[in-house]
Amino acid sequence: MSPSSFIPKIKVATDKCKFQGDTLLSSYTYQNALVSKDLETGIFNVEPQSTDYNFKLDLKIPKVGLMLVGLGGNNGSTVVAAVLANKHQLSFETNKGVVKPNYYGSVTQSATLKLGIDRHGSDVYAPFNDVLPLVNPNDLVVGGWDINGADLKKAMERAQVLDIDLQKKLGPYMKDIKPLPSVYYPDFIAANQDDRADNCFNRENVNGVVSTKGKWSHVEKIRSDIREFKQKNNLDKVIVLWTANTERYADVAAGVNDTAENLISSIKKDDEEVSPSTIFAVASILEKVTFINGSPQNTFVPGCIELAEINKTFIGGDDFKTGQTKLKSVLAQFLVDAGIRPISIASYNHLGNNDGYNLSSARQFRSKEISKKSVVDDMIASNKILYNEEKGNTIDHCIVIKYVPAVGDSKIAMDEYYSELMLGGHNKLVVHNTCEDSLLATPLIIDLVIMSEFLSRINYKRADETEYHDFYSVLSFLSYWLKAPLTRPGYDAINGLNKQRQGIENLMRLLIGLPALDELRFEERLV
Q: Which of 283, 317, 351 is the last residue of a domain?
A: 317
Tell me the average pLDDT across 249-264: 96
Q: Which of 322, 267, 315 is nearest to 293 (CA)?
A: 315
Domain count, the chain: 3
pLDDT of residue 43: 95
Whether 50 and 93 map to the same domain: the answer is no
Looking up residue 380, the CATH number of its domain turns out to be 3.30.360.10
Contact yes or no for 354/331 (Cβ under 8 A):
no
Residue 206 has pLDDT above 70, yes or no: no
Q: Which of 72, 104, 58 is nearest to 85 (CA)?
A: 104
Q: Is residue 109 part of a domain?
A: no
Residue 326 has pLDDT above 50, yes or no: yes
Q: Is residue 502 part of a domain?
A: yes
Residue 87 has pLDDT above 90, yes or no: yes
Q: Express each pLDDT in 88-125 by its tens digit.
A: 999 999 999 999 999 999 999 999 999 999 998 899 99
Residue 354 has pLDDT above 80, yes or no: no
Q: Is residue 125 part of a domain?
A: no
Whether 77 and 55 map to the same domain: the answer is no
DSSP 465: -
Q: Is residue 9 part of a domain?
A: no
pLDDT of residue 369: 63
Q: Is residue 294 part of a domain?
A: yes
Q: Express each pLDDT in 273-284 by its tens digit.
A: 999 999 999 999
Looking up residue 498, the CATH number of its domain turns out to be 3.30.2360.10
Whether 231 and 288 map to the same domain: the answer is yes
Q: With bands split at pLDDT 50, 70 and 90, how would you rate the model's confidence at 514?
A: very high
Listed as own residue / partner, the contacts of 192-200 with beta carbons closer than 8 Å and 24 or more positions apart are: 192/357, 192/358, 192/360, 192/361, 193/147, 193/245, 193/354, 193/357, 193/358, 196/147, 196/148, 196/354, 197/147, 197/148, 198/147, 198/148, 198/149, 199/146, 199/147, 199/148, 199/149, 200/147
Tell me the average pLDDT across 495-499: 88
| Dist. CA 386–CA 408, nearest whole Å | 40
Whether 32 and 154 map to the same domain: the answer is no
Residue 359 has pLDDT above 70, yes or no: no
- Highest mean pLDDT range out of 322-326, 349-353, 418-422? 418-422
Average pLDDT, the chain: 92
Whether 415 and 281 map to the same domain: the answer is no
Q: Is residue 116 part of a domain?
A: no
Whether 76 and 211 map to the same domain: the answer is yes
Distance from the first to the final alpha carbon of the chain: 39
Q: With bands split at pLDDT 50, 70 and 90, how would you rate the model's confidence at 447?
A: very high
Q: With bands split at pLDDT 50, 70 and 90, how would you rate the model's confidence at 2?
A: very low
pLDDT of residue 208: 65
Whether 409 and 353 map to the same domain: the answer is yes
Burial status of residue 94 (CB atoms within 10 A of its CB: 0-12, 13-18, 19 or more):
exposed
Q: With bands split at pLDDT 50, 70 and 90, how would you rate the model's confidence at 262?
A: very high
pLDDT of residue 413: 87
Q: Express each pLDDT in 289-304 by its tens digit.
A: 999 999 999 999 999 9
pLDDT of residue 371: 61
The answer for 314, left when phi > 0, alpha when psi is -120 to 50, beta otherwise, is beta
Q: Which of 297, 317, 337 is the last residue of a domain?
A: 317
Domain that holds residue 501: 17-61+440-522
pTM of the model: 0.92
- Highest mean pLDDT range out of 38-42, 84-88, 371-375, 376-380? 84-88
Q: Which of 255, 326, 293 is nearest to 474 (CA)?
A: 293
> Catalytic residues, which ones?
319, 368, 411, 483
Q: Express each pLDDT in 220-238 by its tens digit.
A: 999 999 999 999 999 999 9
Whether 55 and 68 map to the same domain: the answer is no
pLDDT of residue 3: 38
Q: Express each pLDDT in 120-162 by its tens digit.
A: 889 999 999 999 999 999 999 999 999 999 999 999 999 999 9
Q: Is residue 414 part of a domain?
A: yes
Whether 268 and 254 map to the same domain: the answer is yes
Neighbours of 118 (CB within 10 A): 9
Whether 171 and 257 map to the same domain: the answer is yes
| Dist. CA 351–CA 323, nearest whole Å | 13
Q: Is residue 424 part of a domain?
A: yes
| Dist. CA 229–CA 227, nearest whole Å | 5
Alpha helix positions (H), 233-323: 260-268, 276-286, 302-311
Tell me the average pLDDT across 368-375: 68
Q: Which of 261, 287, 317 is the last residue of a domain?
A: 317
Tell me the average pLDDT across 7-21: 91
Q: Express each pLDDT in 454-481 by its tens digit.
A: 999 999 999 999 999 999 999 999 999 9
Whether 486 and 497 map to the same domain: the answer is yes
Percent of the chain scoring above 70 in pLDDT: 95
Whether 375 and 253 map to the same domain: the answer is no
Looking up residue 210, the CATH number of its domain turns out to be 3.40.50.720
DSSP 261: H
What backbone phi and psi angles, to 5 degrees, belong to 219? -60, -45
